């Protein structure tokens, strides 16, 4: 578990009072009527007014956090580090068991190489936390949590291929195709994608068949031509464009990044027995933190080194990709991240505070992570 870098998270609601004056011109992420697949011009996109925004730092330093904790050590009794270590360990054990080394050995070696390479396990932990929030047991959501991580790993394997981002480093290790070759890497991703759905279908226990089917449908939609793939396609065809606006960029990241984080939370709520109102409230929460994850990722890509990130830094700039810092600048991107975090936490009001504590802490962690 040494790969978990949890030293930079902050306590719940640590900056919520500082952002009350942020302009409401930062909208909640949404399913966009705007379709960049057919509309490339940004001349008709909604403009966002940032002139009235105060200066707020969203990616804090370690020193800032230590100072804040010293000032208010009793702010929260929830031990986020211990929670993440325990949940990530449980997820790792479940993944290890689910994808065992068997014939044909080569493909399973490739699947396990990337799936068990470490990582923060944010998506599966979100799934488990959402399940607990609505009254479910961890065992009910573990297959879904593992499935989300399998699909996330598939997306990373395929992202790194020469025909996509052409990356040599992932989680501090050579990328899958560098170790096993492009052909096996493609197939390893395909196998993880297929097995994710099989795993939910055959390994979920204590959940009604109707909820299992609903969860499978939710996950399929999140990663298909109206979800993750849509975001990937628009991201690819947007490289080098000079007339891309914020709505266009939001479409990319709501689909490419936020969709799978949203699915993780929604799946947890569904298999945990949540009512429709709870599921939809958690969907909105997840969409905020999903977009937040990408905004912070864009910031880190231009402010951190490859060693700090465990992957190639500055690759978006080299590929001339559209990012939030490119359109808004780093400071305004940080302000937007802070607003998304605050909106996400507000959406958890009305739930049991003790059960919501992990999701609040995860929102903070996503906002303040350093890699």
Rounded Cα gap, residues 95 and 122, in angstroms: 14
- Rounded distance, CA 359 to CA 344, Å? 9
User: Where does residue 244 rank: exposed (0-12), middle (13-18), buried (19+ CB within 10 A)?
Assistant: buried
Contact call for residues 340 and 29 (beta carbons, < 8 A):
yes
Mean pLDDT of 48-69: 34
Q: Hey, which residues does 169 pair with through a beta bridge?
A: 174
Q: Is the pLDDT of residue 72 over 50?
A: no
Span 93-120, mean pLDDT? 95
Would you tell me how many other CB atoms lie within 10 Å of the CB of residue 121? 25
| Cβ atoms of residues 59 and 4 within 8 Å | no
CA–CA distance, 79 with 333 (Å, rounded to integer): 29
Please report the sign of the dihedral spanned by the C-alpha atoms of residue 99, residue 306, residue 255, residue 180.
Answer: negative
**Token digits of residue 283:** 């969907």
Q: Return the pLDDT at 243.
A: 82
CATH architecture of 80-368: Orthogonal Bundle (1.10)
Given this model, what pLDDT does residue 311 score? 54
Q: H/E/C letters for each residue in the chain?
A: CCCCCCCCCCCCCCCHHHHCCCCCCCCCCCCCCCCCCCCCCCCCCCCCCCCCCCCCCCCCCHHHHHHHHHHCCCCCCCCHHHHHHHHHHHHHHHHHHHCCCCCCHHHHHHHHHHHCCCCCCHHHHHHHHHHHHCCCCHHHHHHHHHHHHHHHHHHHHHHCCCCCCCCCEECCEECHHHHHCHHHHHHHHHHHHHHHHHHHHHHCCCCCHHHHHHHHHHHHHHHCCCCHHHHHHHHHHCCCCCCCCHHHHHHHHHHHHHHHHHHHHHHHHHHCCCCHHHHHHHHHHHHHHHHHHHHHHHHHHHHCCHHHHCCCCCHHHHCCCCCHHHHHCHHHHHHHHHHHHHHHHHCCECECHHHHHHHHHHHHHHHHCCC
Over residues 54-61, mean pLDDT: 33
Q: Which residue has the tokens 């399940």?
A: 131
- What average pLDDT does this structure show over 55-69? 36
pLDDT recorded at residue 119: 84
Cα separation, 144 vs 353, whole angstroms: 24
- Model pLDDT for residues 212-249, shown as the tens digit of each residue: 999 999 999 999 999 999 999 998 888 888 788 889 99
Report d(CA 107, CA 217) in Å as an integer: 27
Higher pLDDT, 242 or 309: 242
pLDDT value at position 179? Answer: 96
What are the sequence ranges of the domains in the chain?
Answer: 80-368
pLDDT at 353 over 80: yes
Q: Which residues of 51-73 are buried (b: 16+ CB within 10 A; e: fewer)?
A: eebeebebbbeeeebeebeeeee
Average pLDDT of the segment spanning 57-76 = 39
Q: State the Cα–Cα distance between residues 254 and 31, nearest whole angstrom.
A: 8
Length of the chain: 371
Separation of alpha carbons 113 and 106, rounded Å: 10
What's the pTM value of the predicted model, to 2 decimals? 0.78
For 269-296, the pLDDT digits (tens) are 999 999 999 999 999 999 999 999 999 9
Give the pLDDT score at 310: 58
Cα radius of gyration rounded to whole Å, the chain = 20
Q: How many CA atoms lie within 13 A of 279 on its CB side?
A: 17
């Amino acid at each position: 578990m040494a790969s978990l870098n949890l030293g930079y998270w902050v306590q719940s609601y640590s900056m919520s009072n500082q952002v009350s004056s942020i302009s409401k011109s930062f909208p909640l992420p949404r399913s966009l009527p705007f379709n960049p697949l057919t509309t490339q011009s940004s001349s008709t996109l909604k403009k966002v007014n940032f002139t009235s925004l105060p200066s707020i730092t969203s990616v804090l330093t370690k020193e800032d956090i230590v100072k804040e904790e010293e000032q208010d050590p009793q702010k929260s009794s929830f031990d986020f580090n211990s929670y993440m270590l325990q949940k990530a360990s449980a997820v790792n054990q479940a993944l290890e068991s689910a994808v065992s080394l068997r014939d044909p050995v080569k493909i399973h070696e490739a699947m396990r190489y990337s799936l068990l390479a470490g990582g923060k396990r944010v998506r599966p932990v979100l799934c488990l936390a959402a399940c607990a929030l609505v009254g479910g047991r961890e065992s009910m959501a573990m297959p879904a949590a593992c499935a989300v991580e399998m699909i996330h790993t598939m997306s990373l394997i395929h992202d790194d291929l020469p025909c996509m981002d052409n990356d040599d480093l992932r989680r501090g290790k050579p990328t899958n195709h560098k170790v096993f070759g492009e052909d096996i890497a493609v197939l390893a991703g395909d196998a993880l994608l297929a097995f994710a759905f099989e795993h939910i279908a055959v390994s979920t226990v204590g959940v009604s068949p109707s909820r299992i089917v609903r969860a499978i449908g939710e996950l399929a939609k999140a990663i298909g031509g109206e979800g993750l793939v849509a975001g990937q396609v628009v991201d690819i065809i947007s490289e080098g464009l000079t007339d891309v606006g914020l709505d266009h960029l939001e479409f990319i990241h709501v689909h490419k990044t936020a969709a799978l984080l949203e699915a993780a939370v929604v799946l947890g709520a569904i298999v945990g027995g949540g009512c429709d109102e709870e599921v939809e409230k958690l969907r909105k929460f997840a969409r905020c933190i999903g977009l937040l994850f990408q905004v912070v990722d864009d910031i880190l890509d231009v402010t951190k080194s490859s060693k700090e990130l465990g992957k190639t830094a500055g690759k978006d700039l080299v590929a001339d990709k559209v990012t939030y810092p490119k359109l808004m600048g780093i400071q305004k991107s940080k302000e937007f991240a802070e607003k998304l975090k605050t909106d996400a936490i507000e959406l958890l009001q009305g739930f049991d505070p003790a059960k919501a504590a992990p999701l609040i802490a995860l929102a903070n962690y996503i906002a303040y992570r350093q890699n």
